Amino acid sequence: MVKPDSLIFDMDGTLWDNVDSYAISWNRALEAEGYSRRVNREELLGLMGREARVMLETIIPDASRSAQDRLFDGVVSQYQLLVPDMKPHIYEGVYAGLEKLSSRYPLFLLSNCEKGGLVNFMKHTGTAHLFTDFLEHGENLKPKSYNMRLLKERNQLQAPFYIGDTDSDSKASAEAGLPFVFVTYGFGKTENFICSFDSFPQLVDYFLHI
């Protein structure tokens, strides 16, 4: 197996679980826009890692595109209100593990989240100094595979690995030509990966010693 020269991390289901906050944000926005529809944690788990448009078409499929956009703006606004008091579950070993990995590899973040989502993550966890660069779907509304290639090109990476937790992460990595590392403790399942880990400390130990 080719050794990586850098590691690109997904956020949700890989570094933390903040789905409960997302559910509150969606439901408050749905109520504010006059929808009777509500979502729960289990439903959102099945949508984690998907682009915003896919989520909107699943949750309010009969709404117009402009109505969907208005709802998502509301979701983002409601989430920003929650940020100061939210209590996400940060997976075991993430703080110490990222610190250790950053001493050997340039680290990056790439997510299908809204614009500002990764900034919120880094501020909340105090990890901004550990990452060289990041890219969010909300910045350009491009597919994850496109953004993987973009992040690779603008940082002149030769052999980046993408680390995520869903089959959509695996497929995007394949489309972008990046080896995919699967963490089994996250939100999804896949059969396509170069290696997998049951915990973040296991992942850290592996990449520190290859």
- 44: its two tokens: 């959102």
- 151: its two tokens: 């992040």
Residue whose token pair is 């595109």:
65
Q: Which domains does the chain have, with CATH numbers?
A: 6-17+89-209 (3.40.50.1000), 19-85 (1.10.150)
The pLDDT of residue 1 is above 90:
no
Residue whose token pair is 């940060």:
90
The pLDDT of residue 193 is above 80:
yes
Mean pLDDT in residue range 17-30: 96
Mean pLDDT across the chain: 95
- Among residues 160, 159, 166, the alpha carbon closest in space to that of 183 is found at 166
SS3 115: coil
Reported as a single tens digit per residue, the pLDDT across 52-97 is 899 999 999 999 999 999 999 999 999 999 988 899 999 999 999 9
**What pLDDT, on a 0 to 100 scale, did the predictor assign at position 2?**
81
Residue whose token pair is 């929650």:
82
**What pLDDT, on a 0 to 100 scale, did the predictor assign at position 194?**
97
**What secondary structure letter does DSSP report for 89?**
E
SS3 46: coil
Mean pLDDT in residue range 112-121: 92
Q: Answer whether 150's CB lies under 8 Å from 135's CB.
A: yes
**What pLDDT, on a 0 to 100 scale, did the predictor assign at position 50?**
85
Residue whose token pair is 């979701």:
75
The pLDDT of residue 51 is above 90:
no
Mean pLDDT in residue range 158-187: 97
For 24-46, b where at least 16 C-beta lie within 10 A, e where not — what string? bbbbbbbeebeeeeebeeeebbe
